[in-house]
A = this chain, B = another copy of it.
């Protein structure tokens, strides 16, 4: 048995931290190479999923891009689903970690919320494909049990945001007449959906977008003298 991960596609803890256990086990480091190959394939697939959509991307498309035959992909992944799973998992894991860190740092609700917004916008470039898939293909992917964990992660995120909004209302910082849950959803969607047209090379980069949005979010578009 090799260390190649074909089982569930969910990265094990050590795979994410970068301290590959495989390297320790294999003097020659071949499993690390394998892992690099694997990550390369995931990246290629991600690009295609982002561009054409998950369903419209065939495993042959991915294989072609990698210069191999479609059947050969199954040495690295046990299904097309497991590839996208890997893309999504890595995104969610990173996001959750960043969110936790922001929370841990503490501060006024406005500061925390701003930081959460900035974190979201910050994933737009490194996790473009995952967000694109979530925006375009989630309606399809949600039917598979294997992706249930995404709903759980999202619920947890919602809990966290809504908590901050309520805290802001209680401390008199935020208006009383807004619905925390509703407001969270709108913020969330507004941010993620930008992935469809956002161009990192454009006039505004991700940080610029975040700043712009934070302004509007907290104070609206009206002129307040």
Contacts and interface: CB of A to CB of B under 8 A. Distances in A.
Interface in A53-72: 53, 55-56, 67, 69
B189 A193 contact: yes
Contact of A182 (B185, B186, B196, B204): B204
B216 A219 contact: no
B177 A215 contact: yes
Task: Please tell me how many copies of the chain the complex holds.
Answer: 4
Chain A interface: which size bin?
35 or more
24 contacts: A52-B143, A53-B139, A55-B56, A56-B140, A135-B135, A136-B137, A174-B221, A174-B222, A175-B215, A175-B222, A175-B223, A178-B216, A179-B203, A183-B221, A186-B194, A186-B213, A193-B193, A216-B220, A217-B220, A218-B220, A218-B222, A219-B219, A220-B220, A224-B224
Interface of A: 1-2, 52-53, 55-56, 67, 69, 110, 132, 135-137, 139-140, 143, 165, 168, 172-175, 177-179, 182-183, 185-186, 189-190, 193-194, 196-197, 203-204, 209, 212-213, 215-224
